[in-house]
Amino acid sequence: MSERRIDKQLEAAKSSSNALIGCKFHRVPEDSTIRFTKWANNLTPHQLYTQMYTSHGPTVVMPTWFCKRGVFDRVGGFDEGGKGVPEDLIFFYRHVEMGGEVYRVDDDLMLYRYHPDAATFSIKQETIWKIRIDFLEKQILSHWPEFTIWNAGKQGRRFFRSLTDINQKKVCAFCDVDEKKIKKAVYIYEYSKEKYKPRIPIIHYSQAKPPIVICIKLDLTSGVFEENLRSLNLEEGKDFIHFN
C-alpha cells in the first residue's frame, strides 16, 4: 500500500463515525480485471450506493477498506464460514442494512494483486447471486409497486425466476433492443405453479416504464447500451438500478 494510505483514510474517517472507507487502486498484472478496475475507480459518490447490487460486488473493494473499530463491531465481524463464503459481500451488505455509510478516497493508495488461485474463485456464482437477489429485494424492490426488467434474454429471465412470488407479480414488462425478442411480444413463465401462467409483455426499451432493473452488463457494447440508457433521461437510484 501507499505510504500515504493511513493518513488519507484516517483523515476521511474523522468526518464520519459510521463509514466504510475505500480508496482507488491499481492492479498487477496491469491488464487484469480491466473492466472491474475501471468500474470501481470511477464510481461517483452516489453510485457507491446505487451500484452495490451488481455482480462486481462491494462498491469499495475489501483490500482497500478502512473503518473505525465500532463499525466492525457493530456488523459483528466477518462470516467465518470458510472457503466458498463471500465474507466481504456479506459484511458490506450488513453494514449498509444497518445504516452504514460508504466512502472512497479518490487517490490510488493500493496495489491489488491478481492471481488465479485467489480465494474469490472458490465462491460459487449461485451463492453470490442469491445474496444479491435477497439484498435487492429488501432494499429496493420491497419499496417499488411495479417495475420493468431491461433484458428479455437469458439473464433477464433468470432474474425474474429468482424473485419471490410477490416481486414477480410486480414485473410489468421486459424491455430490450433485440427485435427478435420484441416480436415475441410476451414471455410466458411456464414454471409458475399458478393455473394461468404469468404472461409478461416484451417491449422496446424506449417504451419502458420506470423504475427499471437493468440486467445488462456495463462497458461491453462500445457505449451503445450506455447511450440508449442516457437517451431515456432517467435518474439512477430512483428510475433505474443496475443488477448485472
User: Any idea where the domains of the chain sit in the sequence?
Assistant: 5-126, 142-242
Element (H, E) at 38: helix 34-42
Instruction: State the chain's maximal CA–CA distance in angstroms.
Output: 64
Mean pLDDT of 103-110: 98
Better-predicted residue by pLDDT, 117 or 68: 68
pLDDT score at 51: 98
Cell numbers that stand for 115 in this block? 492471481
Mean pLDDT of 85-108: 97
How far is the C-alpha of 41 from the C-alpha of 215, rounded, in Å? Answer: 21
pLDDT score at 196: 85
8 Å CB contact between 164 and 201: no
- At 121, the pLDDT band (50, 70, 90 cuts) reads low
Domain range 142-242, CATH architecture: 3-Layer(aba) Sandwich (3.40)
Q: Quote the pTM value.
A: 0.94
For cell 421486459, name the residue. Answer: 174
Count of beta carbons in the 10 Å neighbourhood of residue 199: 11
How far is the C-alpha of 176 from the C-alpha of 82, rounded, in Å? Answer: 40
Mean of pLDDT over the chain:
95
Q: Does the pLDDT value for residue 215 go beyond 90?
A: yes
**pLDDT tens readout for residues 148-193:** 999 999 999 999 999 999 999 999 999 999 999 999 999 998 888 7
DSSP symbols for 90-105: HHHHHHHHTT-EEEEE
- At 101, the pLDDT band (50, 70, 90 cuts) reads very high
Burial class of 36 by CB neighbour count within 10 A (0 to 12, 13 to 18, 19+): middle
pLDDT score at 84: 83
How far is the C-alpha of 126 from the C-alpha of 210, rounded, in Å? Answer: 28
**pLDDT tens readout for residues 1-19:** 999 999 999 999 998 889 9
- Of 106-120, 208-222, 230-244, minimum mean pLDDT range: 106-120
